[in-house]
């Protein structure tokens, strides 16, 4: 009997963790056109994906402003901004936090790239990057590299904030070399 109770409790814990981190929707496939969106930036200015046609876009979704992992990831993207610019690439961060929260986060952390407020959660859903966290929903830590033609070239569904910017820069190098040789 005691073993059955322990087993039942274990099942409940596993089910709870799976529900807690469940992502709603599926991510767009590599080679498909990136879903369009328009979201306000930290400055309150609307930003559309289509505004960046002709450039490489690093579209990264992250859970929450001012949290440890998200701050590390943002700092690394900020640190590498010159390298992204040399690769004709822009970095766009997306979370479900408000534009005002993003503005405060950018000011506190010295970020000068665009953070987009997906308060309606629509863009996060389009990219399969919305997760349930307890009773709230937030963006999952996912990244998409979108080519100048508007197509998804790479997708990262398991991101380590510490090394991710380096990983993305290396992927951009490889993608740009392969498209240059075609």
Q: Backbone phi, then psi, for 33, in 5-degree steps?
A: -70, 135
* Cα–Cα dist 97/119, whole Å: 6
Alpha-carbon Rg for the chain in angstroms? 18
State pTM to two decimals: 0.86
CA distances from 136 to 44, 52, 68 (A): 24, 31, 19
Spatial contact of 55 and 89, defined as CB atoms under 8 Å apart: yes
Catalytic residue among 47, 59, 70, 139: 70
Task: For each of the domains in the chain, give its residue range(s) and CATH number, in order of start.
Answer: 24-180 (3.40.30.10)
Q: Is 106 a catalytic residue?
A: no
Q: What is the pLDDT along the chain (182 residues), one digit of tens a residue?
A: 554 333 334 333 333 433 334 444 699 999 999 999 999 999 999 999 999 999 999 999 999 999 999 999 999 999 999 999 999 999 999 999 999 999 999 999 999 999 999 999 999 999 999 999 889 999 999 999 999 999 999 999 999 999 999 999 999 999 999 877 66
């Amino acid at each position: 009997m005691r073993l059955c109770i322990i087993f039942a409790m274990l099942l409940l814990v596993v089910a709870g963790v799976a529900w807690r981190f469940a992502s709603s929707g599926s991510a767009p496939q590599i080679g498909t056109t990136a879903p369009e969106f328009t979201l306000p930036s930290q400055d309150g200015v609307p930003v559309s994906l289509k505004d960046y046609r002709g450039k490489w876009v690093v579209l990264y979704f992250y859970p929450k402003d001012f949290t440890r992992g998200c701050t590390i990831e943002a700092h690394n993207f900020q640190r590498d901004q010159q390298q992204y610019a040399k690769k004709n690439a822009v970095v766009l961060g997306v979370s479900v936090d408000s534009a005002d929260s993003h503005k405060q986060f950018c000011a506190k952390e010295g970020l000068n790239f665009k953070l987009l407020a997906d308060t309606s959660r629509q863009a996060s859903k389009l990219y399969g990057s919305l997760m349930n966290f307890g009773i709230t929903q937030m963006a999952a830590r996912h990244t998409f590299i979108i080519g100048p033609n508007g197509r998804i070239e790479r997708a990262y569904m398991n991101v380590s904030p510490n090394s991710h910017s380096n990983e993305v820069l290396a992927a951009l190098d490889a993608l740009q070399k392969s498209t240059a040789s075609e």
